[in-house]
Structures are given as C-alpha cells and as structure tokens.
Amino acid sequence: MRRLFPLFVFLTFVSSCKCQTDVVYPVSPCTNGTTTCMNGRPYACGGGAWRPVGDVTCAAVGGVCCLDAVSQVHACVAQDRCAPTTSGGN
C-alpha cells in the first residue's frame, strides 16, 4: 500500500488538472508575441502556437476583435478603437 500511495496522489492530481486543450495549431508556425483575431476572439502566439486570449468571444462582452489603435495588439475593443486597415475597412 505504501508503494501505491505516490501513484494515487499523482493520479488524483492529474484527474483534477484543468489542462489547456484550446491550443490552435496553425498550418504554419507563428512568431512569438504576434496577435491576430480568429472566430471573433483575439489570439496571441506563444511557443509557436496560437492561444486564445480570454474565455469568451468579443461579441459576448460587447466588443469586436480587431487591431487596437491604442495598444497595437489584437483585442476586444469598441468598434471606434479599431486601427484602420490598409483596405479601408475595419
């Protein structure tokens, strides 16, 4: 029994772990520190993979996902804070 106790503790920890399962593996690697919008949510590149920022879509909090004109990163912001795009739209 004493030999099985460490295994029991480890298995209990693993079964209660909230492991990250929402990593999106892009077709091509991303550059660490870059941001983008996908499916109405901001994503940041970390460890060569896109990871969602936050738990909900921007629409769920009353915003839009775009390049923030102030912080220069993709984020959930009010429409009027979106940086202009080169195509002329937001």
pTM over 0.85: no
Rounded Cα gap, residues 12 and 66, in angstroms: 41
Q: Measuring CA to CA, which residue among 12, 48, 43, 58 is closest to residue 28?
A: 48
What does the pLDDT look like over 42-53, one tens digit per residue?
Answer: 999 998 889 999
Asked if 22 and 51 count as a contact pair (C-beta separation under 8 A), the reply is yes
What does the pLDDT look like over 13-64, one tens digit per residue?
Answer: 444 444 555 555 445 579 999 999 999 999 999 988 899 999 999 999 999 9
Categorize the per-residue pLDDT at 81 as very low, low, confident or very high, splitting at 50, 70 and 90.
very high
